[in-house]
Structure 1
Amino acid sequence: MGREQWLELVDKFRFDLTAREQLYSTLNKVIESIQDGNTAAKEAIAPLLTPRYPSQLFAAFGEGLLIFMFLFFLWRKPRKPGFIAACFVLIYAVVRVVDEHFRMPDAHIGFQALGLTRGQWLSLAMFVVGLILMVVWTRAASLKIPGWQRGHSIKLNRK
Protein backbone atom coordinates (compact mmCIF):
# COMPACT_ATOMS: atom_id res chain seq x y z
CA MET A 1 0.00 0.00 0.00
CA GLY A 2 1.42 3.36 -1.03
CA ARG A 3 1.57 6.52 1.00
CA GLU A 4 -1.16 8.26 -1.01
CA GLN A 5 -3.53 5.32 -0.67
CA TRP A 6 -2.85 5.17 3.07
CA LEU A 7 -3.57 8.89 3.54
CA GLU A 8 -6.77 8.55 1.52
CA LEU A 9 -7.94 5.70 3.78
CA VAL A 10 -7.14 7.74 6.87
CA ASP A 11 -9.15 10.68 5.50
CA LYS A 12 -12.16 8.44 4.80
CA PHE A 13 -11.84 6.53 8.09
CA ARG A 14 -14.71 8.27 9.88
CA PHE A 15 -17.28 8.10 7.11
CA ASP A 16 -16.49 5.08 4.92
CA LEU A 17 -16.94 1.63 6.43
CA THR A 18 -14.91 -0.11 3.70
CA ALA A 19 -12.01 2.31 4.22
CA ARG A 20 -12.13 1.59 7.95
CA GLU A 21 -12.09 -2.17 7.38
CA GLN A 22 -9.23 -1.88 4.88
CA LEU A 23 -7.25 0.28 7.30
CA TYR A 24 -7.77 -2.18 10.16
CA SER A 25 -6.83 -5.08 7.88
CA THR A 26 -3.60 -3.37 6.85
CA LEU A 27 -2.71 -2.54 10.45
CA ASN A 28 -3.38 -6.14 11.51
CA LYS A 29 -1.06 -7.39 8.72
CA VAL A 30 1.69 -5.05 9.95
CA ILE A 31 1.23 -6.20 13.55
CA GLU A 32 1.26 -9.86 12.54
CA SER A 33 4.42 -9.42 10.47
CA ILE A 34 6.18 -7.73 13.40
CA GLN A 35 5.06 -10.51 15.74
CA ASP A 36 6.40 -13.06 13.24
CA GLY A 37 9.83 -11.45 13.50
CA ASN A 38 9.90 -9.10 10.50
CA THR A 39 12.59 -6.66 11.65
CA ALA A 40 12.20 -4.45 8.56
CA ALA A 41 8.57 -3.70 9.48
CA LYS A 42 9.57 -3.15 13.09
CA GLU A 43 12.31 -0.69 12.10
CA ALA A 44 9.95 1.08 9.69
CA ILE A 45 7.44 1.95 12.38
CA ALA A 46 9.98 2.44 15.20
CA PRO A 47 10.03 6.27 14.85
CA LEU A 48 6.25 6.32 15.35
CA LEU A 49 6.43 4.29 18.55
CA THR A 50 7.77 6.86 20.95
CA PRO A 51 7.90 5.58 24.53
CA ARG A 52 5.55 7.50 26.78
CA TYR A 53 5.19 8.01 30.49
CA PRO A 54 2.22 6.29 32.16
CA SER A 55 0.58 9.67 32.74
CA GLN A 56 -2.68 8.09 33.92
CA LEU A 57 -0.82 6.43 36.78
CA PHE A 58 0.96 9.68 37.63
CA ALA A 59 -2.40 11.47 37.67
CA ALA A 60 -3.96 8.78 39.87
CA PHE A 61 -1.09 9.02 42.32
CA GLY A 62 -0.89 12.83 42.34
CA GLU A 63 -4.55 13.74 42.12
CA GLY A 64 -5.67 10.89 44.32
CA LEU A 65 -3.25 9.65 46.91
CA LEU A 66 -0.98 12.69 47.22
CA ILE A 67 -3.82 15.21 47.61
CA PHE A 68 -5.60 12.90 50.05
CA MET A 69 -2.46 12.65 52.20
CA PHE A 70 -2.00 16.44 52.30
CA LEU A 71 -5.63 17.10 53.18
CA PHE A 72 -5.69 14.26 55.70
CA PHE A 73 -2.86 15.85 57.70
CA LEU A 74 -4.26 19.38 57.34
CA TRP A 75 -7.59 18.15 58.72
CA ARG A 76 -5.96 17.27 62.03
CA LYS A 77 -5.48 20.84 63.26
CA PRO A 78 -8.12 23.43 64.09
CA ARG A 79 -8.90 25.63 61.09
CA LYS A 80 -11.30 28.21 59.71
CA PRO A 81 -14.23 27.07 57.56
CA GLY A 82 -13.18 26.83 53.90
CA PHE A 83 -9.49 26.33 54.64
CA ILE A 84 -9.48 22.69 53.51
CA ALA A 85 -11.40 23.56 50.33
CA ALA A 86 -8.92 26.32 49.46
CA CYS A 87 -6.01 23.97 50.15
CA PHE A 88 -7.58 21.38 47.88
CA VAL A 89 -7.86 23.90 45.03
CA LEU A 90 -4.25 25.02 45.52
CA ILE A 91 -2.76 21.54 45.78
CA TYR A 92 -4.86 20.21 42.89
CA ALA A 93 -3.71 23.07 40.66
CA VAL A 94 -0.04 22.40 41.43
CA VAL A 95 -0.42 18.66 40.86
CA ARG A 96 -2.19 19.26 37.53
CA VAL A 97 0.59 21.56 36.29
CA VAL A 98 3.14 18.86 37.13
CA ASP A 99 1.00 16.07 35.62
CA GLU A 100 0.62 17.96 32.36
CA HIS A 101 4.40 17.78 31.82
CA PHE A 102 4.04 14.02 31.33
CA ARG A 103 1.05 14.16 28.97
CA MET A 104 0.95 14.83 25.28
CA PRO A 105 -1.05 18.00 24.68
CA ASP A 106 -4.31 17.66 22.79
CA ALA A 107 -3.58 17.40 19.08
CA HIS A 108 -6.04 20.13 18.11
CA ILE A 109 -4.81 22.53 20.83
CA GLY A 110 -1.10 21.83 21.30
CA PHE A 111 1.19 24.04 23.32
CA GLN A 112 0.21 27.64 23.96
CA ALA A 113 1.99 30.71 25.32
CA LEU A 114 5.25 30.10 27.20
CA GLY A 115 5.23 26.45 26.12
CA LEU A 116 2.39 25.55 28.50
CA THR A 117 -0.67 23.50 27.63
CA ARG A 118 -4.21 24.74 28.05
CA GLY A 119 -4.59 22.48 31.09
CA GLN A 120 -1.58 24.13 32.70
CA TRP A 121 -2.94 27.62 32.04
CA LEU A 122 -6.31 26.67 33.50
CA SER A 123 -4.55 25.16 36.51
CA LEU A 124 -2.61 28.39 37.04
CA ALA A 125 -5.90 30.31 36.98
CA MET A 126 -7.31 27.80 39.47
CA PHE A 127 -4.25 28.37 41.69
CA VAL A 128 -4.94 32.12 41.73
CA VAL A 129 -8.58 31.47 42.63
CA GLY A 130 -7.41 29.14 45.42
CA LEU A 131 -5.13 31.85 46.82
CA ILE A 132 -7.97 34.36 46.80
CA LEU A 133 -10.27 31.88 48.54
CA MET A 134 -7.57 31.12 51.11
CA VAL A 135 -7.14 34.80 51.96
CA VAL A 136 -10.87 35.50 52.12
CA TRP A 137 -11.75 32.45 54.19
CA THR A 138 -8.89 32.73 56.66
CA ARG A 139 -9.63 36.41 57.31
CA ALA A 140 -13.35 35.79 57.82
CA ALA A 141 -14.66 36.43 61.30
CA SER A 142 -15.70 32.89 62.15
CA LEU A 143 -14.91 30.32 64.78
CA LYS A 144 -12.31 27.70 64.10
CA ILE A 145 -13.40 24.17 63.33
CA PRO A 146 -11.73 21.80 65.78
CA GLY A 147 -9.32 19.22 64.47
CA TRP A 148 -8.99 15.65 65.61
CA GLN A 149 -5.35 15.82 66.64
CA ARG A 150 -4.53 14.05 69.87
CA GLY A 151 -5.03 16.25 72.93
CA HIS A 152 -7.75 18.47 71.40
CA SER A 153 -11.25 18.39 72.76
CA ILE A 154 -13.63 18.08 69.83
CA LYS A 155 -16.54 19.66 71.70
CA LEU A 156 -14.79 22.57 73.34
CA ASN A 157 -11.77 23.02 71.05
CA ARG A 158 -9.35 23.20 73.94
CA LYS A 159 -6.49 21.11 75.22
Structure 2
Amino acid sequence: MNHHNAEPGSEKSGEIDRETTASEPVAMIDAAHEGAPPDDSDATVDSATSVDIDDQIERILQRIPTRWGRSLDVDAGWYALIIDTDNQLARINPDYVVHQIKEKFGTLRYYYAPSDGDATGALQDAMDAVIDEAERKSANICERCGQPGTLQKHGWFKTLCRSCTK
Protein backbone atom coordinates (compact mmCIF):
# COMPACT_ATOMS: atom_id res chain seq x y z
CA MET A 1 0.00 0.00 0.00
CA ASN A 2 1.28 3.45 -0.88
CA HIS A 3 -0.04 6.34 1.20
CA HIS A 4 1.77 9.19 -0.52
CA ASN A 5 -0.65 9.48 -3.41
CA ALA A 6 -3.73 8.46 -1.48
CA GLU A 7 -6.35 11.09 -0.95
CA PRO A 8 -6.37 12.47 2.60
CA GLY A 9 -8.71 10.44 4.72
CA SER A 10 -8.18 7.44 2.50
CA GLU A 11 -5.77 4.62 3.20
CA LYS A 12 -5.94 3.24 -0.33
CA SER A 13 -4.25 4.19 -3.54
CA GLY A 14 -4.19 2.70 -6.99
CA GLU A 15 -2.48 -0.59 -7.75
CA ILE A 16 1.23 -0.11 -8.32
CA ASP A 17 3.00 -1.78 -11.22
CA ARG A 18 6.25 -3.29 -9.89
CA GLU A 19 7.62 -4.39 -13.29
CA THR A 20 10.34 -1.73 -13.26
CA THR A 21 13.97 -2.53 -12.70
CA ALA A 22 15.51 -1.69 -9.34
CA SER A 23 17.85 0.86 -10.94
CA GLU A 24 15.10 3.00 -12.55
CA PRO A 25 13.97 4.74 -9.32
CA VAL A 26 17.60 5.28 -8.31
CA ALA A 27 18.35 6.89 -11.68
CA MET A 28 15.31 9.17 -11.35
CA ILE A 29 16.30 10.21 -7.81
CA ASP A 30 19.87 10.87 -8.96
CA ALA A 31 18.50 13.02 -11.78
CA ALA A 32 16.35 14.93 -9.28
CA HIS A 33 19.42 15.66 -7.18
CA GLU A 34 21.53 16.61 -10.20
CA GLY A 35 22.24 20.30 -10.08
CA ALA A 36 20.68 20.58 -6.64
CA PRO A 37 22.66 22.15 -3.82
CA PRO A 38 24.24 19.74 -1.32
CA ASP A 39 21.80 18.30 1.19
CA ASP A 40 21.58 20.65 4.15
CA SER A 41 18.61 19.28 6.04
CA ASP A 42 19.75 21.08 9.19
CA ALA A 43 19.43 24.44 7.43
CA THR A 44 16.93 26.80 8.97
CA VAL A 45 14.38 28.82 7.07
CA ASP A 46 16.20 32.07 7.88
CA SER A 47 18.99 31.06 5.47
CA ALA A 48 16.88 32.60 2.69
CA THR A 49 14.95 35.85 2.57
CA SER A 50 11.37 35.71 3.79
CA VAL A 51 10.19 37.00 0.40
CA ASP A 52 11.95 34.10 -1.33
CA ILE A 53 10.42 31.63 1.13
CA ASP A 54 6.98 33.20 0.70
CA ASP A 55 7.30 32.88 -3.09
CA GLN A 56 8.37 29.25 -2.83
CA ILE A 57 5.59 28.37 -0.40
CA GLU A 58 3.08 30.12 -2.67
CA ARG A 59 4.36 28.03 -5.61
CA ILE A 60 3.74 24.86 -3.57
CA LEU A 61 0.27 26.07 -2.52
CA GLN A 62 -0.60 26.59 -6.19
CA ARG A 63 0.00 22.86 -6.75
CA ILE A 64 -2.98 22.11 -4.46
CA PRO A 65 -6.30 21.96 -6.31
CA THR A 66 -8.71 24.58 -4.97
CA ARG A 67 -11.19 21.91 -3.90
CA TRP A 68 -8.61 20.59 -1.40
CA GLY A 69 -8.14 23.93 0.34
CA ARG A 70 -4.78 25.59 -0.14
CA SER A 71 -2.87 25.42 3.12
CA LEU A 72 0.21 23.89 4.67
CA ASP A 73 -0.73 22.38 8.00
CA VAL A 74 2.76 22.59 9.50
CA ASP A 75 4.76 25.22 11.38
CA ALA A 76 7.43 27.34 9.67
CA GLY A 77 10.35 25.24 10.93
CA TRP A 78 9.61 22.64 8.25
CA TYR A 79 9.26 25.12 5.38
CA ALA A 80 12.85 24.60 4.20
CA LEU A 81 12.30 20.82 4.20
CA ILE A 82 9.02 21.19 2.30
CA ILE A 83 10.60 23.54 -0.25
CA ASP A 84 13.49 21.11 -0.79
CA THR A 85 11.03 18.21 -1.16
CA ASP A 86 8.98 20.17 -3.70
CA ASN A 87 12.12 21.04 -5.70
CA GLN A 88 13.18 17.38 -5.84
CA LEU A 89 9.69 16.19 -6.81
CA ALA A 90 9.41 18.89 -9.49
CA ARG A 91 12.66 17.68 -11.07
CA ILE A 92 11.12 14.19 -11.32
CA ASN A 93 7.60 15.29 -12.34
CA PRO A 94 7.36 19.07 -12.98
CA ASP A 95 3.57 19.32 -12.86
CA TYR A 96 2.84 16.94 -9.98
CA VAL A 97 -0.17 17.84 -7.78
CA VAL A 98 -0.12 18.30 -4.00
CA HIS A 99 -3.17 17.06 -2.15
CA GLN A 100 -2.10 17.85 1.40
CA ILE A 101 0.99 18.66 3.46
CA LYS A 102 0.57 18.28 7.20
CA GLU A 103 2.02 17.09 10.48
CA LYS A 104 0.71 13.81 11.81
CA PHE A 105 2.03 12.06 14.91
CA GLY A 106 4.89 14.54 15.03
CA THR A 107 6.27 14.00 11.52
CA LEU A 108 5.61 15.30 8.03
CA ARG A 109 2.96 13.83 5.74
CA TYR A 110 3.09 14.80 2.07
CA TYR A 111 0.18 13.58 -0.08
CA TYR A 112 0.44 14.06 -3.85
CA ALA A 113 -0.35 12.67 -7.28
CA PRO A 114 1.79 12.56 -10.43
CA SER A 115 0.69 15.08 -13.07
CA ASP A 116 -0.53 12.45 -15.49
CA GLY A 117 -2.44 10.61 -12.77
CA ASP A 118 -0.43 7.44 -13.43
CA ALA A 119 0.74 6.15 -10.06
CA THR A 120 2.79 3.25 -11.38
CA GLY A 121 6.34 2.18 -11.98
CA ALA A 122 9.61 4.01 -11.66
CA LEU A 123 8.04 7.49 -11.50
CA GLN A 124 6.00 6.59 -8.44
CA ASP A 125 8.92 4.80 -6.79
CA ALA A 126 11.22 7.79 -7.30
CA MET A 127 8.67 10.26 -5.95
CA ASP A 128 7.87 8.03 -2.97
CA ALA A 129 11.59 7.75 -2.14
CA VAL A 130 11.90 11.56 -2.01
CA ILE A 131 8.86 11.81 0.28
CA ASP A 132 10.00 8.93 2.50
CA GLU A 133 13.30 10.75 3.02
CA ALA A 134 11.55 14.04 3.85
CA GLU A 135 9.21 12.34 6.30
CA ARG A 136 12.20 10.64 7.95
CA LYS A 137 14.13 13.94 8.19
CA SER A 138 11.14 15.71 9.74
CA ALA A 139 11.53 13.59 12.88
CA ASN A 140 14.86 15.39 13.49
CA ILE A 141 13.91 18.98 12.61
CA CYS A 142 12.04 21.25 15.01
CA GLU A 143 8.70 22.03 13.39
CA ARG A 144 8.60 25.48 15.00
CA CYS A 145 12.10 26.88 14.34
CA GLY A 146 13.90 24.48 11.97
CA GLN A 147 16.76 23.67 14.35
CA PRO A 148 17.69 20.04 15.14
CA GLY A 149 14.91 18.48 17.17
CA THR A 150 13.52 15.24 18.50
CA LEU A 151 10.09 13.69 18.49
CA GLN A 152 8.34 14.69 21.74
CA LYS A 153 5.27 13.20 23.37
CA HIS A 154 3.47 15.41 25.87
CA GLY A 155 -0.09 14.25 25.36
CA TRP A 156 0.51 14.97 21.67
CA PHE A 157 3.38 14.26 19.30
CA LYS A 158 5.53 17.09 17.98
CA THR A 159 9.13 17.31 16.77
CA LEU A 160 10.77 20.11 18.73
CA CYS A 161 14.19 21.39 19.77
CA ARG A 162 15.04 21.95 23.44
CA SER A 163 14.22 25.68 23.26
CA CYS A 164 10.81 25.16 21.67
CA THR A 165 9.93 22.34 24.08
CA LYS A 166 9.98 24.76 27.02
TM-score by length of 2: 0.26
Q: More strand per residue: 1 or 2?
A: 2
TM-score by length of 1: 0.27
Q: More helix per residue: 1 or 2?
A: 1
